[in-house]
Chain A
Amino acid sequence: MSLLEHLPVLAIVVPLAGAAMAFVTGPRRSALECAATSVLTLVPVLLLAARVLDSGPQRYAVGGWGGPLGIVLLADGTAALFLVLIGIVGMAVTVYAAGYFPTPDEEHPGPGHGLFWTLWLFMWASLNALVLTADVFNVYVCLELVGLSAVALVTLTEGAEALRAGMRYLFASILGAMTYLLGVSLLYASTGLLDMEMLSSALKTPSVASSTGLALMIAALLLKTALVPMHFWLPTAHAAAPSPVSAALSALVVKGSFFVVLRLMLDVMPPGHLGGADTLLGVFGAAAIVWGSVQALVQTRLKLLVAYSTVAQVGYLFLVFPLAGAGGAVLSSAFLGTGVHALSHGLAKASMFLAAGVVLKRFGHDRIADLAGVARRAPVLAATFALAGVTMMGLPPSGGFAAKWLIAGASITSGDWWWAAVVVAGGLLAAAYMFRLLATFMASPGDAPEPAAPLRVVRTEWVPLALATASFLLVFAVPVVTQLAEAGSVLARVGGVAP
Chain B
Amino acid sequence: MNPATLYPLAGAFLFATGVYGLLARKHLLHKVISGNFLGSGVFLVLIGLAGRSSAESPDPVPQAMVLTGIVVTVALTALALALIKRYHTATGLTTFDPVDEEQL
B76, A171: Cβ atoms under 8 Å? no
* Interface flags, B32-59, vs A, CB<8A=1, else 0: 0001001101100110011010000000
Check: A360 CB closer than 8 A to any chain B CB. no
A163, B38: Cβ atoms under 8 Å? no
Give the contacting residue for B15; candidates A151, A164, A182, A189; CB below 8 A: A182
Determine the chain A residues whose CB is within 8 A of the CB of B50 once the complex forms.
Answer: 189
- Give the secondary structure class of A's interface: helix
CB closest chain-B residue, reference A68: B61
Determine the chain B residues whose CB is within 8 A of the CB of A148 once the complex forms.
Answer: 75-76, 79
Give the contacting residue for A178; candidates B31, B35, B90, B96; CB below 8 A: B35
Binds B, one of A20-28, A152-160, A308-316: A152-160
B87, A182: Cβ atoms under 8 Å? no
The total number of A-B Cβ pairs within 8 Å is 81
- Give the secondary structure class of B's interface: helix
Determine the chain A residues whose CB is within 8 A of the CB of B83 once the complex forms.
Answer: 151, 155, 163, 166-167, 170
- How far is the CB of A223 from the nearest CB of chain B, in Å? 12
A185, B62: Cβ atoms under 8 Å? yes
Check: A188 CB closer than 8 A to any chain B CB. yes
- How far is the CB of B87 from the nearest CB of chain A, in Å? 4
* Interface flags, B1-43, vs A, CB<8A=1, else 0: 0000000000000010011001000001001000100110110
A182, B42: Cβ atoms under 8 Å? yes
Q: Could you list 19 A-B pairs, sorted by A, with CB under 8 Å? A: A137-B65, A140-B69, A141-B68, A144-B75, A148-B75, A160-B91, A163-B86, A166-B83, A167-B28, A167-B96, A168-B96, A170-B76, A170-B80, A174-B35, A174-B38, A175-B22, A178-B18, A178-B39, A185-B65
Q: Can you add 5 more A-B contacts, CB < 8 Å, to A178-B39, A179-B38, A182-B45? A: A140-B69, A141-B72, A144-B72, A151-B83, A182-B15
Interface residues of B (CB under 8 A from A): 15, 18-19, 22, 28, 31, 35, 38-39, 41-42, 45-46, 49-50, 52, 61-62, 65, 68-69, 72, 75-76, 79-80, 83-84, 86-87, 90-91, 96
